[in-house]
Structure 1
Amino acid sequence: MEEAVLALQEMKSLGISPSVEIYNSIIHGFAKKGKFDDALFSLNEMEEISLTPDGETYDGLIQAYGNYKMYDEIGICVKKMESDGCLLDHVTYNLLIQEFSRGGLLKRMERVYQTLLSKRMDLQHSTLVAMLEAYAKFGLLEKMEKVYGRVLNSKTPLKDDLVRKLAGVYIENYMFTRLDDLGLDLSSKTSRTDLVWCLRLLSHACLLSRKGMDSIIGEMEVAKVSWNITVANIILLAYLKMKDFKHLRILLSELPTHRVKPDIVTVGILFDANRNGFDGTGALNSWRRMGFLAKTVEMNTDPLVLTAFGKGHFLRSCEEIYSSLEPKAREKKIWTYQSLIDLVFKQPRLRGVARSQD
């Protein structure tokens, strides 16, 4: 910016009149760095030499204010824009909706949205996505569904993080069938990704529908999709919820066949099943023989699975005990599955469960 300002001063000294575009570059450069006093000084200087700011001048300021969460300043900027006789166009309205959406200012967002519609201006796809994300963030199901329908019709691709937020709202409202719909919608826009299979399988697992899960697994086999730990843990959690210990034991023994390596969620499922009367000694001994328990703890399961089923007793105990340790103790120790299990079952309330695994 220092060099840009020097170049501007040199232009003036040579008698060259700077253009609106040059001043816009200076103003936006200062604004992006959060130097709004300098940006506004340049804006005033621009007006003093009879250069009229345009929509792009103010749009850059609005976007920068949004990045710094200075929403009152956005309002002041819009008022100045109007007082200067610079009409707000569809670019500015879309930008305002996006910035208010990201800031969680839903009433302001909706007011600007209604103004844009009343003026029959174009609504950008990125604006719809920003609104969808805002409604999902606050769990506003009906409004989220309405905007999602428009996004779906627009053929706009959605990022995985946003899809997970939508799924989280459906889970929170026990609308598990919508997870399958969401997965199908996603697959129509992209390929059948791991997230697609996760959503569809999770839909039937949350409903404890064995037939539904088998149907999705059958589709995966036809599509020649390999299992991952997310798929395995979804099915294991459904079996645990149904207390179907027969199939739980079978699937645990078949993980190597599917070339799936367990993670901390799988370990948690095993110990939670033990609390409900399952004998997991065979699986635990098998893991010990394979050297799995000596490996560093990993969590490779899609977070949506824990959103749907909860963390379970074992994982909650791990978090509780880990957070109680001194910071140095956490950092120095290399956490293996065995060391974490030992730490958890050193607690008096869990020793009985630990002895049953010896």
Structure 2
Amino acid sequence: MATQPLHTRICAASPPPIFLPRASASRRSWVPPLRRGPPNRKIIHGRSLNDRILGNKDYAALFKAVIVNEEPDIAFQLVNELKSKGFKPGCDVLSGLMLCYAKNGFFMQAQALWGEIINSSFEPRIEVIWDLMTAYAQMGQFDEITRIVHETTLRNFGFGPEVYSMAVSCFGKAGQLRLMEEAVKEMVSRGFKVNSVSGNAYVKYYSIYGSLEDMEAAYERLKKSRILIEKGAIRAMASAYINQRQFYKFGEFLRDVGLDRRNVGNLLWNLLLLSYAANFKMKSLQREFLGMLDAGFSPDISTFNIRALAYSRMSMFWDLHLSIQHMRYKRVIPDLVTYGCIVDAFLERRLARNISFELGKLNVEASPIMLTDPLVFEVFGKGDFHSSSEALLKSTRQRNWTYSKLLAIYLKKQYRRNQIFWNY
């Protein structure tokens, strides 16, 4: 039986090859290197090895590499080459090119590709819609986000609530509270239920960009919807109360949320302690700390450092000593803030010789770490030792820092600063 030539057999079964456009020297970073050894005849045939010819899978991989490098002109050339060879680009290819255009500011091209996708039989992935909304929000194209929401909802893809939820997050993150409010109202009018993600984002961004009255009204709406406020929204409301120095309202809000919630219990108790420590209400601080223990919650590093900062600022050395001892008993690892509380308290009263006595109970040869909740610094700020050490850790390339080394440098700086030099 006569055998058919290999070249003819492969050409009949394989798709038409794609000849990549020749790129300039600066654009060749995305070109896959040629394999060493014998050429793959399923990909390269009928041409010399110097010709770059790709099959379907290779094209998809190369297109993905171009999208990662965010080169829309090269990606567009590849799509045109694909169409000229009889290939029909799928939804993933069109979506990738659309995102590439949107992230680089080519909005008209991105809109045209979105129209091609939405008016065809393709169903865009929810991740693609989120990336497209995010790109538009970063560029201030909020009308395009609204258009995407409306067109996606009309097509009944099955993820209408998720699209509205993403729009609420995009508008809120950009500080567009009016658009966020309209998106929530439209979401409800279409019969979609406001989920926990949308409700908490609603409260969170009113806390960041709105007034206290707007924030509290948003929180009341969340409660009426029977949605639990989560950690992100709690932290945003806490920051708003702290910035306005409304610590009494802050405490009332925390009690209203419920101090017995196990998933955010430590956060709520720590913030309640912080509301008392901010005004140095030491008896109330101790009472609520004991209440936290009685409720079955275990204090963490932020709990101890909130108390330590208050004791340090009030120069209550015995209470500071007992708090450090309690921390050791609970096997809580101290961080840079803990060491700073001790150093700043003793130096403030010119008791530098006694620092080694208190620090001797801690491991001064450990590497510095930072574990304290950043909300604590919004109330107390950062101490001198903390700020000096943090700047030193960031400014030098030395990697083997210890608390003892940081303390030695800090004490030397303090000694030099306190000296008086007379110029004759």
Shorter-chain TM-score range? 0.7 to 0.9
Aligned residues: 331
Report if aligned partners of 2:238, 2:250 keep a CA contact under 8 Å in 1: yes
Q: Shift of the alpha carbon at 1:221? A: 3.0
Q: Which residue of 1 aligns with 2:406?
A: 340
Q: CA deviation at 1:291?
A: 6.2
Alignment deviations for residues 333-355 of structure 1 (CA, whole Å, 9 cap, x no partner): 311001111222332666549xx
**Partner Cα distance (1:217, 1:81) in 2:** 48
Counterpart check, 1:132 vs 2:203: yes
Q: What is the TM-score of this pair, normalised by structure 2?
A: 0.63
Q: Which letter maps to 2:133?
A: G
CA RMSD of aligned residues (A): 4.3
**Larger Rg computed on CA atoms:** 2
Aligned mate of 2:319, from 234, 242, 247: 247
Correspondence for 1:356: none
**CA distance in structure 2 between the partners assigned to 1:284 and 1:217 by the alignment:** 28
One-letter code aligned to 1:298: I
- AA aligned to 1:75 is D
CA distance in 1, matches of 2:326, 2:261: 33
Q: Could you tell me how far apart the structure 1 residues matched to 2:414 and 2:250 are?
A: 40
What does residue 99 of structure 1 align with?
170
Relative to its length, the structure with more helix (as a share) is 1
Give the TM-score, by structure 1 length.
0.72
* Residue 123 of structure 1: how far off its partner (Å): 5.4
| Closer/same/farther in 2, CA of residues 157 and 278 from structure 1, 3 Å limit | farther
| Alignment of structure 1 residues 73-88 onto 2, 5 Å | 73-76=141-144, 78=146, 86=154
Query: What pairs with 1:1-358 in structure 2 (closer than 5 Å)?
Result: 31=98, 37=109, 40-41=112-113, 43-44=115-116, 47=119, 63-70=130-137, 73-76=141-144, 78=146, 86=154, 91=161, 93-113=164-184, 119=189, 121-122=191-192, 124-125=194-195, 126-138=197-209, 140-184=211-255, 185=257, 187=259, 189-191=261-263, 193-277=265-349, 279=351, 281-282=353-354, 284-288=356-360, 290=361, 292-323=363-394, 325=395, 330-347=396-413, 352=418
Which sections of structure 1, spanning at least 5 residues, go unmatched? 354-358
Larger deviation, residues 136-145 vs 181-190? 181-190
The structure showing larger relative contact order (alpha-carbon pairs under 8 Å, at least 6 residues apart) is 1
Change (3 A) 1:248 1:145: same
Whether the 8 Å CA contact 1:344–1:350 is kept in 2: the answer is no
Q: Which amino acid aligns with 1:315?
A: H
Deviation at 1:84, TM superposition (A): 12
Q: CA-to-partner distance for each residue in 1:218-263, whole Å, 9 max, x for gaps? A: 2233234433332222112222333333423443455433434332
3-state SS in 2 of match to 1:339 = helix
Q: Could you tell me how far apart the structure 2 residues matched to 1:294 and 1:41 are? A: 60
Does structure 2 conserve the Cα–Cα contact (< 8 Å) formed by 1:139 and 1:169?
no
The aligned amino acid for 2:131 is: A
How far apart, in 2, do the equivalents of 1:243 and 1:220 lie? 24
The percentage of aligned residue pairs carrying the same residue is 23
The gaps in structure 2 that reach 5 residues or longer are 1-56, 64-78, 420-424
Summarize the Cα distance change of 1:150–1:205 in structure 2 as closer, same or farther, 3 Å threshold: same
